[in-house]
Amino acid sequence: MNVLFVEPFFPRNQREFVRALHAVGARVTGIGETPLAALDSELKGWMTHYEQVRSVVDESALLQAVKRCQAREWVDRLETSVEAHILAAAKVRELCSIPGTSTRTAFLCRDKPAMKEVLREAGIACAQSIGTDNAEEAREFAERVGYPVILKPRDGAGASGTHKASNKDELERAISACGLEGGRNVAVEEFIEGHEGFYDTLSIEGRVVHDFACHYFPNVLEAMRTRWISPQIVCTNRIEAETYREVREMGQKVITALGIGTSATHMEWFFGPKGLKFSEIGCRPPGVRVWDLYSAANDFDIYVEWAKAIVHGQTDSKPSRRYSTGMIALRPDKDGTIAGYEGAEQLQQRFGPHVIDAHLPPVGTPTQGVEAGYMANAWVRMKHTDYDALCRMMSAVGETLKVKAR
């Protein structure tokens, strides 16, 4: 099978998808923005050809690159795994008659108001929401639904560009901050109180074949706004328990309603006083290298499982569910440059066998802002056979391992 893979070089873990495709027997052509000469020999060795384009989200440039590939040989699949690339790839895929995620599905997985409208019609519980470029409509929505409300980009990912308004004054500040007064079209949503988690799948022809459930501690919006918090993402190995039945059933319904075929998915959900509520979906793997946690938790290679689904239309491995795994982000105490660490030796002494890996930037490294995300500065990834024990260990790491800046 000949597979075109969009942007194999950046971010760093993109190479894992190329590696996996090569490992299951695909002929891989990369399409990316980096010059061929800048690619390392290992990555180049996994590809049979490489096409450089000025931008992988420039649909015209991507289309021409794909047509050049089709002129050389038959192309079976065009794949990508980065949120910002999904819609451009879908449009080019349809123009070139290549099977895969449709433009409709890609659009619905990017546009929050349209997504929720389709899902509500399918009987899936979601927050009330509208899409608007009119500030007065946002004000009317807030008055009708009640505060708090959330304003965010229609095609945003994670908490990027998201604003919470708990009263009229905060709403006016959010309207200004998100550009609504200037005519920008945004999503306005009911704020759902409750615990936040996510449900990730690998589906083949619309049927879930692998799935995973994770929890945020605390919820993302708070984590991305509060420096002193060392936020955690924890993947449970208890997903097959009755506790997660409703989440898993909801996930399959979402996949069916949105017309997702053979693809990875990443779904956010809330559970609170109003029950289980679907938040949003990406038709791609989760960010911040969460798939590495799934591989470590389940004694298999999820990248290879994805490649088997794409190339062979089936998988032949089962997740062991042996471990719960997690990541804890460690923020510098202020902006500047890394001056050192407190508690690093104690981490290794207390929890060494449970540490998967860690990233502690060297002294002198410039810090990145809290809003830059979970892997922007220091982080530690861990595993344990017991979910509760893992949560306790990760909390202990957050309390004892400190990142000092100057």
Q: Are 36 and 30 in contact (CB under 8 A)?
A: no
Question: What's the confidence (pLDDT) of residue 224?
Answer: 87
- Stretch 272-278: mean pLDDT: 95
In angstroms, rounded to a whole number, what is the distance separating the alpha carbons of residues 246 and 69?
Answer: 44
Q: What is the pTM of this model?
A: 0.93
Q: Domain check: are 171 and 214 in the same one?
A: no
- Give the three-class secondary structure for 251: helix
- The CA distances from residue 350 to 217, 294, 329, 358, 388, in Å, are 22, 24, 18, 15, 17
Domain CATH code at residue 54: 3.40.50.20
Question: By percentage, how much of the chain surpasses pLDDT 90?
Answer: 92
Question: What's the confidence (pLDDT) of residue 271?
Answer: 97
Query: Of the residues 190, 206, 235, which one is the last residue of a structural domain?
Result: 190
Q: Is residue 207 part of a domain?
A: yes
Q: What is the pLDDT of residues 314-325, one digit of tens each?
A: 999 999 999 999
Tally the C-alpha atoms within 13 A of residue 129's C-alpha that lie toward its C-beta: 29
Domain CATH code at residue 243: 3.30.470.20
Give Rg (Cα) of the chain. Answer: 22
Beta-carbon count within 10 A of 206 CB: 14
- Give the three-class secondary structure for 4: strand
- Stretch 334-343: mean pLDDT: 96
Q: Are 105 and 90 in contact (CB under 8 A)?
A: yes
Helix axes 103-110, 86-95, angle to 10 degrees: 170
Q: Is residue 179 part of a domain?
A: yes
The residues near 214 (Cβ < 8 Å, ≥ 6 apart) are 197, 198, 199, 200, 233, 234, 235, 236, 286, 290, 293
Q: What is the pLDDT of residues 24-63, one digit of tens each?
A: 999 999 999 999 999 999 999 999 999 999 999 999 999 9
Question: Residue 335: which pLDDT band, with cuts at 50, 70 and 90?
Answer: very high
Q: Domain check: are 220 and 178 in the same one?
A: no
Question: What's the confidence (pLDDT) of residue 158?
Answer: 56
Mean pLDDT of the chain: 95
Q: Domain check: are 138 and 180 in the same one?
A: yes
CA angle 222–224–227, rounded 5-degree value:
90
Q: Domain check: are 209 and 146 in the same one?
A: no
Q: Domain check: are 315 and 400 in the same one?
A: yes
Question: What's the confidence (pLDDT) of residue 159?
Answer: 61
243: which 2 tokens?
């506790």
Q: Is residue 63 part of a domain?
A: yes
In angstroms, rounded to a whole number, what is the distance separating the alpha carbons of residues 374 and 45?
Answer: 31
Q: What is the pLDDT of residues 95-120, one digit of tens each?
A: 999 999 999 999 999 998 999 999 99
Q: Domain check: are 199 and 175 in the same one?
A: no
Question: What's the confidence (pLDDT) of residue 157?
Answer: 62
Q: Domain check: are 258 and 371 in the same one?
A: yes
Q: Domain check: are 283 and 323 in the same one?
A: yes
In angstroms, rounded to a whole number, what is the distance separating the alpha carbons of residues 372 and 197?
Answer: 20
Instruction: Give the sheet arrangement for strand 186-190, strand by strand.
Output: 129-132, 186-190, 149-153, 163-165
Q: Domain check: are 177 and 275 in the same one?
A: no
In angstroms, rounded to a whole number, what is the distance separating the alpha carbons of residues 147 and 143?
Answer: 8
Q: Is residue 12 part of a domain?
A: yes
Q: Domain check: are 160 and 280 in the same one?
A: no
Structurally, the chain folds into a number of domains equal to 3
- The CA distances from residue 120 to 128, 194, 230, 271, in Å, are 9, 20, 35, 17
Q: Is residue 90 part of a domain?
A: yes
Q: Domain check: are 184 and 199 in the same one?
A: no
Question: What's the confidence (pLDDT) of residue 181?
Answer: 83
Q: Is residue 57 part of a domain?
A: yes
The β-bridge relationship of strands 338-342 and 402-405 is antiparallel
The domain containing residue 32 runs over which residues? Answer: 2-100
Q: What is the pLDDT of residues 155-206, one digit of tens each?
A: 766 566 889 999 999 999 999 999 888 889 999 999 999 999 999 999 999 9
Q: What is the pLDDT of residues 342-384, one digit of tens each?
A: 999 988 899 999 999 999 999 999 999 998 999 999 999 999 9
Query: Could you tell me how far CA 176 lies from the centroid of its own chain?
Result: 27
Domain CATH code at residue 173: 3.30.1490.20
**Backbone torsions φ then ψ of 166, nearest 5 degrees:** -100, -5
Q: Domain check: are 326 and 211 in the same one?
A: yes
393: which 2 tokens?
């260990």
Question: Residue 138: which pLDDT band, with cuts at 50, 70 and 90?
Answer: very high
Q: Is residue 108 part of a domain?
A: no
Q: Is residue 30 part of a domain?
A: yes
